[in-house]
Chains A and B, each alone.
Chain A
Amino acid sequence: MDMITIPAVNFTPILPEIFLSVLAMVLLLINVFIPGDRKAYLGYLSFVGIVAAGVLVAAGWGGHIESFSGSVVLDNFATFFKMIFLVSAGLAVLISDQYMEREGCNHGELYPLILFTVVGMMLMASGTDLMTIFLGLEVMSVALYVLAGFNRKNPKSNEAGLKYFLLGCFSTGFLLYGMALTYGATGTTRIAKIAAVVGQMSLPSANIMLVAGMLLMLTGFAFKIAAAPFHMWTPDVYEGAPTPMTAFMSAGPKAAGFAAALRIFLVALPTLQVEWSQVLWVLAVLTMTVGNITALRQDNIKRMLAYSSIAHAGYALVGFTAGNGTGTAGILFYMLSYAFMNIGAFAIIILVGKKGESNGNVQDFAGFGVKHPVLAVAMSIFLFSLAGMPPTAGFIGKFYLFSGAIQQGYIWLAIIGVLNSAASVYYYLRVMVFMYMKDPTEEFDWMQVTAPMALCVAISVIGSLIPGIIPSLILQFAQQAIKLI
Chain B
Amino acid sequence: MENLNGYLIISAILFSIGTIGVLTRKNAIVIFMCVEMMLNAVNLTFVALSRHLGNLDGQVFVFFVMTVAAAEAAVGLALMIAFYNNKESIDVDDINLMKW
Chain A bound to chain B = yes
Binding site for B on A (CB under 8 A): 130-131, 134-135, 138, 142, 145-146, 149, 152-153, 155-156, 158-163, 165-166, 169-170, 172-173, 176-177, 179-181, 183-184, 187-189, 235-236, 239-240, 303
A236 in contact with B83 (CB, 8 Å) = no
For this complex, 14 residue pairs linking A to B, each with C-beta atoms less than 8 Å apart, are A134-B68, A142-B72, A152-B85, A155-B86, A158-B82, A159-B95, A159-B98, A162-B79, A166-B92, A170-B19, A173-B38, A177-B42, A180-B46, A187-B55
A163 in contact with B95 (CB, 8 Å) = yes
Considering the complex, give the chain A residue whose CB is closest to the CB of B50: A183
Binding site for A on B (CB under 8 A): 8, 15, 18-19, 22, 28, 31-32, 35, 38-39, 41-42, 45-46, 49, 52-53, 55, 57-58, 60-61, 64-65, 68, 71-72, 75-76, 78-80, 82-83, 85-87, 92, 95-99
A160 in contact with B45 (CB, 8 Å) = no
Interface SS of chain A: helix
Known: A138-B68, A180-B49, A184-B52. 8 other contacts (CB 8 A): A134-B68, A146-B75, A152-B85, A155-B87, A170-B38, A172-B35, A188-B55, A235-B98
Interface SS of chain B: helix
Considering the complex, give the chain A residue whose CB is closest to the CB of B46: A180
Report the minimum CB–CB distance from B98 to chain A (whole Å): 4
A261 to B42, CA, bound (A): 20
A131 in contact with B61 (CB, 8 Å) = yes
Given the complex, which residues of B lie within 8 Å of A131, measured CB to CB? 57, 60-61, 64
Considering the complex, give the chain B residue whose CB is closest to the CB of A175: B42
A138 in contact with B98 (CB, 8 Å) = no
B86 in contact with A158 (CB, 8 Å) = yes
Given the complex, which residues of B lie within 8 Å of A166, measured CB to CB? 22, 28, 31-32, 35, 76, 92
Report the minimum CB–CB distance from A422 to chain B (whole Å): 24
- Contacting residue for B83 out of A134, A146, A162, A235, CB 8 A: A162
Instruction: Answer whether A239 and B46 are a contact pair too, CB < 8 Å, given A155-B86, A172-B39.
Output: no
B46 in contact with A183 (CB, 8 Å) = yes
Report the minimum CB–CB distance from A444 to chain B (whole Å): 26
Report the minimum CB–CB distance from B89 to chain A (whole Å): 11
Report the minimum CB–CB distance from A305 to chain B (whole Å): 14
- Contacting residue for B75 out of A135, A165, A173, A189, CB 8 A: A165
A187 to B54, CA, bound (A): 9
Given the complex, which residues of B lie within 8 Å of A159, measured CB to CB? 83, 95-98
